[in-house]
């Protein structure tokens, strides 16, 4: 006898100040029965513009703003830019390892990263409860892409491992090594890992063109953005808004 189909239930949060655009208010659609979440059905939610933070799965649903656009990379079509090739060359001395079980030393690296790089953010100051509630999920399969300088752990990229995609949840790294562009390099390594695992896409979360600190995600080509519930492709920087063409790294 076939099991009955299971459906997600959704709720709408109250409006609160946006963490990314100072002049805007934020509101979310959230999945209220997350006990039904699996790696398989979470991928379907990703395709519809949802994202997770710990066990919470949400999608922006703001009254007066639609700036948040889900962005994903078709990894088999990716072609690195000159600057991305330079970043790879700078970091050729690093060793990458992929593990399924997080290590205890992750938290101290996460704490140093948050407390140095994101002092103006909602996660400052970092604490262990916040770290656990944000990073981990008991319902979605996860991978951890580690970067080592000799034998020192300097970066961790947390990925959700889904049937046909990886989803980049968060990356934290040694704040003293900013010249290495470890965040951008970690995306390049996640693209490489996605290819090795025969995935079709790497999801990068939300792209917000008006938010300067989010504009590293749109520098990987081609990429696709979810606009009006349709995935639309951008193949090169000529398709970006004019202000981002002039200042592609702002």
Count of domains observed in the chain = 2
Predicted confidence (pLDDT) per residue in 182-225, tens digit = 999 999 999 999 999 999 999 999 999 998 888 889 999 999 99
Its pTM surpasses 0.85: yes
**78 domain-assigned:** yes
- For residue 241, what pLDDT is reported? 46
More confident: 239 or 51: 51
Contact 209, 215 (CB under 8 A): yes
Contact 207, 69 (CB under 8 A): yes
- For residue 248, what pLDDT is reported? 37
Encoding tokens for residue 82? 């000159």
Q: Are residues 144 and 166 in the same domain?
A: yes
Nearest Cα to 85, choosing from 195, 184, 222? 184
More confident: 215 or 250: 215
Last residue of a domain, one of 52, 68, 84: 68
Is the model's pLDDT at 2 over the cut of 90?
no
- For residue 236, what pLDDT is reported? 80
Q: What gap in Å lies between CA 110 and CA 152, rounded to an integer? A: 14
Q: Are residues 174 and 57 in the same domain?
A: no
Q: Are residues 205 and 149 in the same domain?
A: yes
Q: What gap in Å lies between CA 7 and CA 82, rounded to an integer? A: 45
238 — pLDDT class (breaks 50, 70, 90): low
**4 domain-assigned:** no
More confident: 238 or 36: 36
- For residue 243, what pLDDT is reported? 43
**229 domain-assigned:** yes
Predicted confidence (pLDDT) per residue in 3-20, tens digit = 556 789 999 999 999 988
Q: What gap in Å lies between CA 187 and CA 233, rounded to an integer? A: 19
Q: What gap in Å lies between CA 116 and CA 86, rounded to an integer? A: 25
Best-predicted range by mean pLDDT (168-177, 210-219, 232-241): 168-177
Task: Round the CA-based radius of gyration of the chain to a whole number and report it.
Answer: 18
- For residue 184, what pLDDT is reported? 97
Which CATH number covers residue 114? 3.40.630.30
Last residue of a domain, one of 41, 68, 95: 68
Predicted confidence (pLDDT) per residue in 137-161, tens digit = 999 999 999 999 999 999 999 999 9
Predicted confidence (pLDDT) per residue in 26-67, tens digit = 999 999 999 999 999 999 999 999 999 999 999 999 999 999
> What is the span of the domain harbouring residue 197?
70-246
Q: What gap in Å lies between CA 152 and CA 94, rounded to an integer? A: 10
């Amino acid at each position: 006898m076939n099991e009955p189909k299971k459906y997600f239930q959704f709720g709408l949060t109250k409006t609160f100040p946006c963490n990314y655009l100072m002049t805007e208010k934020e509101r979310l659609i959230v999945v209220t029965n997350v006990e039904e979440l699996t790696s398989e059905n979470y991928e379907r939610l990703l395709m519809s513009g949802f994202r997770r933070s710990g066990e919470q799965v949400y999608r922006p649903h703001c009254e007066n703003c639609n700036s948040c656009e889900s962005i994903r990379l078709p990894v088999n079509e990716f072609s690195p830019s000159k600057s991305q090739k330079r970043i790879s060359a700078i970091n050729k001395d690093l060793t990458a390892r992929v593990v399924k079980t997080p290590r205890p030393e992750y938290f101290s690296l996460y704490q140093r990263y948050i407390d140095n790089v994101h002092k103006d953010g909602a996660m400052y100051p970092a604490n262990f409860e916040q770290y656990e509630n944000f990073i981990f999920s008991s319902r979605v399969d996860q991978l951890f892409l580690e970067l080592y300088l000799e034998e020192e752990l300097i970066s961790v990229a947390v990925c959700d491992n889904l049937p046909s995609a990886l989803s980049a949840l968060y990356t934290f790294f040694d704040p003293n090594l900013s010249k290495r562009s470890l965040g951008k390099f970690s995306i390049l390594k996640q693209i490489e890992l996605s290819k090795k695992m025969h995935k079709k896409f790497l999801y990068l979360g939300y792209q917000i063109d008006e938010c300067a600190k989010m504009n590293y995600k749109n520098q990987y080509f081609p990429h696709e953005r979810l606009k009006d519930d349709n995935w639309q492709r951008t193949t090169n920087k000529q398709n970006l808004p004019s202000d981002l063409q002039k200042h592609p790294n702002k």
